[in-house]
A and B are shown apart, each in its own frame.
Chain A
Amino acid sequence: MSAFTDRADAALADPILKIAVERTAGTAEAKRTIAIDAFPDFEAARTRAAAIKDHVIAHLGPYLEQFEANAVAAGAKVHWASTADEACKIVIDICQAAGAKSVARSKSMLGEEIGLPHALAEAGIGRVETDLAEHIIQLADERPSHIIWPAMHKTREQVSALFKAKHRSPHVEETIAAMAQSARRELRTQMLSADVGISGANFLIADSGAVCTVTNEGNAELSLVPPRVHIVTAGIEKIVPSMPHAIHMLRMLARSATGAALTQYTTFYTGPKRAGDRDGPEEMHIVLVDNGRTKMRDEGLAEMLRCIRCGACMNHCVVFRQIGGHAYGGTYPGPMGAVLTPVLDGLAPNRDLIHACTLNGKCQEVCPVRIPLPTLLKGWREKSWREGLEPTSMRAGLGLWAWVATRPRLYRLGTTIAVRVLRLLGTKGWIAKLPLAGGWTRHRDMPKPAAQTFMAQYKKARRP
């Protein structure tokens, strides 16, 4: 047993979680299918999206410098952070310099990745999460369980109870609309009175220095425009060369994530308030975060940097659909999380993530940027094997099996004996309990093998 399997077991035993995950992921899967069927040549669009990302990842330096020059020209300040801690320190310093008592935060997985909520709390800065699902998570004092729907693990019934317990003037009517109004009443004043607005970025546009965010609630706009200071934290892989590239990626992102043609709100922020502007922040800071990304590029995980955080891989993953996002234990769950978490939190403590996958390939099939997720997971498995992180029993077992399997005559003897032993364990065609493979027979029966192997029968039949 491991921490992962403990969490997975708890998730499997939770019927409410299953309902919650199925409602959201099931709907997303159905809507995505319709959206992709209606898209003219989605396969070509995927190829182009992957090519755009591969190009910028291969030329990160020049594009980031171009972005910086244009963002500075537009009046923004650009900061560079190589680690999560550095990024948090930059953000906290900006907040403190601005005398900020409270920040409004628009949902950002990069913020979660670098531990920004925790860093803000440590610095004594109040934080209001303005994305509806992040608001739910903040009220419940939990962590996101999905990169698009952080509160996916909660049913609307659970959210209703939470709002009633925590909101100052909660909804009365049990409808989604009334619950949304309750959250709106709670959040709006806090948003408008925040000193600093913090967001992530869906795309950084190199040739204009613009930062693009997408939301369906308009909370980014309301969190980022009224405060005096806007801070963006963004992974360096978010760069695209120009607006047409960003638009192509947006078309892929929205359809892959929710099945919508576009998000309700798509905003490009280029610098702070200019002379004559009626609103906007006085300062705009953009923190470009590496946190392992150049290392990924240089150490065989460049394809993972294509990721645009749409969540399609997890929505379509049979394992995620059973255990939900929290069981993965990292910032990012599902297939993309299984590839990223060993980078961010180390391979040894996250060995389970790279193995808890059937390699069925569905995630790769739906990925809008063609990330070969099963191949990357197998790459981690090889690294884990090479570094001796795999259990001794596994190494010895596979080693012995391979030693025999590379000796065909010995292998024939081995299979002949194995078949005889297996047949002794079975009754009426089935084996209900199998030593050494209890994982199989705990939940299902094993068919009894035929009396003789194929090779033995074939040899006998073909004997002249």
Chain B
Amino acid sequence: MPRNVALFVTCLVDMMRPRIGFAAIRALEAAGCDVVVPEGQTCCGQPALNSGDRDHAAALAKQTIVALEPYEAVVVPSGSCAGTIRCHYPEIFAHDPEWLPRAQAVARKTWEVMAYLDEICGWRPEGVSMDAMATYHDSCSGLRELGIKAQPRRLLKAIDGLRIAPLQGEETCCGFGGTFCVKYPAISNAIVGEKAYAIDATGADLLLAGDLGCLMNMAGKLHRQGSKIRAFHAIELIAGMGDGPAIGEEA
């Protein structure tokens, strides 16, 4: 029985890098899932939630819950958006007896894509090869809200020829922080500057992570500094799409 899975694309992947969404679909289908992209989705509401705008966060959460409710599982190519649905939706509706059970039900079946492939499907990429040295940054929300650490590494290990270089401070925030990076650009820059330095020091060809926001921040800094390191969402490599353009490369 194929698993009936809804892909929550995330607003950033939708607008900035659709191939992450297609990579997620490809990997999920290879793992035997039946993937649907529900129409009613836009953004999970995290920007409003983190800005203190509870009402708009709740409105977007309700819209997302309604869109995702019918499916067996919800899979998200972002630890941060998956964390919002899984950890914060039930908090938003803590005092709303009508919406709390619905939020909890969706929260329970929502997964970050690599965690889903690894833990639920027990799947590994087959016949995927990539002769490269990569380094991996653990994005904060995925790491601390969802415990995503070993899952992407287990999946990446199944790629032929791919080596992983350890990144000094791999669990240290890259300084993105959603609106933080535009509200406090100088502080954010100092943080991502150190991160870029650490990434460069690994000697890797590729920078991988599981969240597009962090990747855009790090890749944007690396590019501004003239680094040749190419950045991908890890799911792109896992789905066998590592031969395409990296972040910031023309298709």
List chain A positions with a Cβ less than 8 A from chain B. 5, 8-9, 12, 318-319, 322-323, 355-362, 364-365, 378, 380-386, 390, 394-395, 398-399, 401-402, 405-406, 408, 411, 415, 418-419, 428-430, 437-440, 442-455, 457-458
Which interface residue of B18, B56, B192, B223 has the most chain A CB atoms within 10 A? B18
Q: In the bound complex, what is the Cα–Cα distance between A255 and B139 (angstroms)?
A: 27
B109-117, B123-131, B242-250: which lies at the interface: B242-250
Q: In the bound complex, what is the Cα–Cα distance between A402 and B56 (angstroms)?
A: 6
Q: B181: which of A408, A418, A439 is its contact (CB, 8 Å)?
A: A439
Query: Is B220 within 8 A of A447, CB to CB?
Result: yes
Query: Is A318 within 8 A of B191, CB to CB?
Result: yes
Q: B180: which of A355, A442, A443, A457 is its contact (CB, 8 Å)?
A: A355
Instruction: Tell me, rounded to whole Å, the shortest Cβ–Cβ distance linking A71 to chain B.
Output: 40
Could you give 19 example pairs across A and B, Cβ below 8 Å? A9-B186, A12-B186, A355-B180, A355-B183, A357-B177, A357-B180, A358-B188, A358-B191, A359-B180, A361-B144, A365-B144, A406-B56, A430-B223, A440-B220, A443-B221, A447-B16, A447-B219, A450-B17, A450-B18
Give the 8 A-B CB pairs with smallest separation, nearest first: A358-B177, A381-B52, A439-B185, A385-B52, A444-B220, A454-B18, A360-B173, A360-B140
Query: Is B216 within 8 A of A8, CB to CB?
Result: no
Q: In the bound complex, what is the Cα–Cα distance between A438 and B39 (angstroms)?
A: 33
Query: Is A361 within 8 A of B140, CB to CB?
Result: yes
Query: Is A445 within 8 A of B17, CB to CB?
Result: no
**Minimum CB distance partner of B54 in chain A:** A382
Q: A359: which of B9, B16, B50, B221 is its contact (CB, 8 Å)?
A: B50
Q: In the bound complex, what is the Cα–Cα distance between A451 and B15 (angstroms)?
A: 9
Given contacts A5-B184, A355-B180, A359-B178, 6 further A-B contacts (CB under 8 A): A355-B183, A356-B180, A364-B144, A429-B245, A443-B193, A458-B22
Counting contact residues on chain B (CB < 8 A from A), the size range is: 35 or more
**Minimum CB distance partner of B171 in chain A:** A362
Query: Is A449 within 8 A of B224, CB to CB?
Result: no
Query: Is A402 within 8 A of B48, CB to CB?
Result: yes
- Chief secondary structure at chain A's binding surface: helix
**Minimum CB distance partner of B43 in chain A:** A405
Residues of B within 8 A of A12 (CB): 186-187, 190
**Minimum CB distance partner of A455 in chain B:** B14
Q: In the bound complex, what is the Cα–Cα distance between A449 and B177 (angstroms)?
A: 20
